[in-house]
Amino acid sequence: MIALTNIERAWATSALTTIFPSGVHARVRGADVIDIGASLEEVCQSVPARVALGLRAAVWLFAFAPLWFFRMCTLPHVDVEMRERIVLSLLSSRVYVVRQLAVLLKAFGALMFVAAAGVREGIVKREAVIQIGLGARAGDRHVA
């Protein structure tokens, strides 16, 4: 797989920081905590070629999606509000292949940024769990 170009890395960064933005929730950091381009490159080198190709196609799809909204530019060059609208439209596209490609990039984006130091801890942090009483065990047995 040929390495992602700098422009492809920038497109991927734009798409994934729009899907997973920072600053929305006090505990939950967004995708900008990682070097998205480098992480995606690493992923592309470790998955089968057809998947890497799919990820690359997804990056291009996000990059040029503004054209469908009559914006003659790539994703990083539209304003934040419009960018989110475009990204959401791809993730819920009526065209199955478009939707699947968008979800593929989103899924890998989630895997990449939650793995960064401190992100998981921030998301799962909670007050003590209140346990519900269960009472007697019931039900049929499934190991005789």
Partner 1 sequence: MSREDEVLPQGAVIDGARLEADVDEAFDFVVIGTGAAGAVAAHQLALRGFSVAMVEEGPYVKTRDFGPDVLTAFRTLMRDGATQAIEGRSFIPLLQGRCVGGSTVVNSAIAWRLPDEVSSDWSARFGLREVIDSASLEPHYDAVERDLEVSDVKEESLGGNNRELIAALKRRGIAWHPMKRYAPDCAGSGRCLQGCPTGAKKGMNVSYVPWALRRGARLFCSCRVVRADVPGHRATGVIATSKSGMRVTLRARHGVIVAASTIQTPNLLRRSGLRSRALGRHFQAHPGIGVAGVFDRPIGMDFGTTQGAETAHFRASDGFKVETISMPPELLAARMPGGGADLMRKLGEYPNIGVWGLQVRAEAEGVVKTGFGGRDKVVYSLTERDMQKARKALAFVATLMIEQGAREIWPGVHGLASAMHTVDQARTLESGPLDSRAYGFIATHLFGAARMGPDPKTSVVGLDFETHEAKGLYVVDSSIFPTNLGVNPQHTIMAVARLAAVRIAERAGKMRAA
**Distance of closest approach, residue 138 Cβ to partner 1, in angstroms:** 7
Please report which helix (H) or strand (E) contains residue 8, including its range: helix 6-19
How many residues bind partner 1, per CB under 8 A?
53
Give the ranges where the chain is alpha helix by DSSP (H): 6-19, 36-46, 49-64, 80-91, 96-114, 119-124
**Distance of closest approach, residue 72 Cβ to partner 1, in angstroms:** 23
20 binds partner 1 (CB under 8 A): yes
Can you spell out the DSSP letters for 33-61? Answer: GS-HHHHHHHHHHHS-HHHHHHHHHHHHH
**Distance of closest approach, residue 73 Cβ to partner 1, in angstroms:** 19
Instruction: Please state, in angstroms and rounded to a whole number, the distance separating the CA atoms of residues 31 and 22.
Output: 7
**Distance of closest approach, residue 37 Cβ to partner 1, in angstroms:** 16
Between 86 and 125, how does the x/- string for binding to partner 1 read (CB under 8 A)? -xx--xx---x--xx--x--xx--xxx-xx---xx--xxx
Quick one: CA dihedral 26, 34, 76, 101, positive or negative?
A: negative
79 binds partner 1 (CB under 8 A): no
Residue length of the chain: 144
Q: Which residues bind partner 1 (CB under 8 A)?
A: 18-21, 24-28, 30, 43, 46-48, 51, 84, 87-88, 91-92, 96, 99-100, 103, 106-107, 110-112, 114-115, 119-120, 123-132, 134-135, 137-144
